Chains A and B, each alone.
Chain A
Amino acid sequence: MIHSYHGLVKISLKNEKILIVKYVNFFHKSLKEKFIKRCLKMTIYWNEKAECMPQEELKKLQGEKLKKFAHYVYNNVDFYHKKFDELRIKPEDIKSVNDITKLPLTYKTDLRDNYPFNLNAVPMGEIIRIHASSGTTGKPTVVSYTRKDISDWTEIMARTVMASGITHEDVVQNAYGYGLFTGGLGFHYGAEKVGCSVIPISGGNTQRQLMIMQDFKSTVLTCTPSYALYIAEYAKKEGIDVSKLALKKAICGAEPWSDNLRKTIEAELEIDAYDIYGLSEIYGPGVSIECEEKNGMHVWEDFFIVEVLDRKTHEPVEPGEEGVLAFTTLEKTGMPLLRYITYDIATINKEKCSCGRTCCRMSKVTGRADDMLIVRGINVFPSQVEAALMTIPGVAGYYQIIIDRDIIDSLSVQVELTADTFSDEMKVLENFKRDIELKLYNILQVRASVELVAPGTLPRTEGKAKHVIDKRTKNI
């Protein structure tokens, strides 16, 4: 525990000794604690035994868990039972973690085909929570959790929260959306478990975010990186002196961001910003997190086996090479997944980290192997837009999605008018536009503005039409 008074820091160590350190006043307030911890080589873990387990032991543990898991999915999920039979394998064939490549892959389409609950391994009576994220069509991707799953996810999130140096003394302003999206509740449970004071403010309403941040003296902000930047810009506009805020850290995820954006957020808010990775199919946030070294995101390997696969063949790539990540959820009981293809492209580094954690680290996600877009932290598939437009009479098959970023992402969809939908009355056209916007919001769960354009103006191409113009790449 660290207390500081006027240039002196009192640190209570585990053996009840007290250490007084004199420190210089750092310009960057978040550096203070880090400096002290560095001096003392002190890293705090939520679960030191699991997080720092020798790698050989970890591998053995994964093997044992995988054996059990193969039996579990084979015996409880029809979909996997059939897959095993098709591949002519039995759960008994899995003897160690290296046998994972014998197991079937799971695709997002499998989740869609088994919508909403057919991949569940338990009856509904044992499911205590249901989350959902974007699907590739009008239907979402649904994930069911048992009590054990929620408890495991909470353990994972507790480790995750602490890995970035957050302790029970922190006041966590959780600006991830609460709801079907896993971000809000995922962080909430983890930070509460650690003992932080959690403010479940959810996303949006920046004025209020800043008021709460000042009044409640929030020390940690959790939100998408673009929202963190937006809050910083907003604070500047409102004349709020960020150096007077208690804020020390931000955990930012749900959308890809560059190291440059990290530097900007850190400088503008005078904080440390950490990257976090997750997807609802694999619980949600917390699949991996940066430690204070900020050199790759630790994957909690006693819960997941992560593989890097060739983006086309889905065969394992050479160690250290880039590819799509696939996760096996070793402990999940509600909707267990074998080798789930995320389509996120990254690399894995198995070297031990100087923070002491032994689990491997994944790089930032550098791209997608499919056409999924991330808009304001929400996954959007062009096929969803198409599915939404198809349901509206009079909408031609031509559309174009334009995404731009002015701190916050904007999504607009250009739709061609037809002779059936054109009117001399503005109100008719505006109602038509609003109807499409509402339909898009219902399916995408993110606001899109519709722009009506003249027929024949959107590009017609042979073969696969270019439906998406993403102008953000230069700004991320």
Chain B
Amino acid sequence: MLKQISVFLPNQVGTLFKLTQILMDNDINMRAISVAETADFGILRVLVDQNKTEECVKVLKAENYLSLITEVIAVDVPDKPGALHDITRILAEERVNIEYLYSTLVKEKAIIVIRVDDIDKAVNILKKKGVKLIESKEF
């Protein structure tokens, strides 16, 4: 399981610019990033170096950002057809809902970051089925 930071951002010119500036100034590296947007606002979801997560939230809070930490699953998905399908099938069969997902690269391997409604259940069944989950120390 990994710790993801979600940040509330208004859907306006320059908001990401301001945020990336803060992260850069605080020497925080983003490892994965995704934005969900509506007409008015967006939710930025970001994975930073896992030992910097708490620090990053503190920095954002000091800058008056609304943010929170959520636990997500990261799976190592082979680069071939049907690889993600194996994972979505397991989750669907066990009635675990995927709220959202996005991909990133870790050590040149494709990683899928998944936010589910029941993370403990998801971790258990994926492990049982032999799916390789990325732990925070390897991230």
A residues at B contact (CB < 8 Å): 417-419, 422-427, 429-430, 451-457
Contacts and interface: CB of A to CB of B under 8 A. Distances in A.
B71 to A, nearest CB: 10
Nearest to A456: B64
B43 A429 contact: yes
**Majority secondary structure, A binding face:** loop
Contacts of A454: 8-10, 41, 64-66
A451 B41 CA distance: 8
Nearest to A427: B99
A424 B115 contact: yes
Interface centre among A422, A427, A457 (most CB of B within 10 A): A422
B65 A419 contact: no
A455 B8 CA distance: 9
Interface string B75-86: 000000000000
Contacts of A457: 10
Nearest to A414: B40
In this complex, the interface size class of chain B, counting residues with CB under 8 Å from chain A, is: 20 to 34
B6 A424 contact: yes
B99 A452 contact: no
Interface string B16-55: 0000000000000000000010101101010000000000
Nearest to B42: A426
Nearest to A416: B66
A425 B70 CA distance: 10
A3 to B, nearest CB: 56
Given A424-B4, A424-B6, 18 more contacts: A418-B66, A422-B67, A423-B6, A424-B115, A425-B100, A426-B100, A427-B99, A451-B41, A452-B41, A453-B10, A453-B40, A454-B8, A454-B9, A454-B41, A454-B64, A454-B65, A455-B64, A456-B64
Nearest to B15: A454
A453 B41 contact: yes
Shortest 10 CB-CB contacts between residues of A and residues of B = A424-B6, A424-B70, A451-B40, A422-B66, A456-B64, A426-B36, A425-B99, A454-B8, A422-B8, A455-B66
14 contacts: A417-B8, A418-B66, A419-B66, A422-B8, A424-B4, A424-B6, A424-B43, A425-B100, A426-B38, A427-B99, A451-B40, A453-B10, A454-B66, A455-B64
B68 interface: yes
Contacts of B100: 425-426
A419 B43 CA distance: 14
Interface in B55-70: 64-68, 70
A84 B71 CA distance: 69
A470 to B, nearest CB: 20
A95 B65 CA distance: 69
Nearest to A424: B6
Contacts of B65: 454
Contact of B68 (A424, A427, A453): A424
Nearest to A452: B41
B115 to A, nearest CB: 7
Contacts of B45: 424
A425 B66 contact: no
A252 to B, nearest CB: 32
A330 B99 CA distance: 64
Contacts of B9: 454
B8 A425 contact: no
B76 to A, nearest CB: 22
B68 A419 contact: yes
Contacts of B67: 422
B22 to A, nearest CB: 14
B36 A452 contact: no
B68 A422 contact: yes
B68 A452 contact: no
Nearest to B99: A425
A452 B43 CA distance: 12
Contacts of A456: 64
Interface centre among B4, B10, B41 (most CB of A within 10 A): B41
Interface in B1-17: 4, 6, 8-10
Nearest to A422: B66
Contacts of B41: 429, 451-454
A429 to B, nearest CB: 7
Contacts of A422: 6, 8, 66-68
Nearest to A426: B36
A423 B70 CA distance: 9
Contact of B115 (A425, A429, A451): A425
Interface centre among A425, A427, A453 (most CB of B within 10 A): A425
Interface string B94-121: 0000011000000000000001000000
Nearest to B4: A424
Nearest to A421: B66
B108 to A, nearest CB: 27
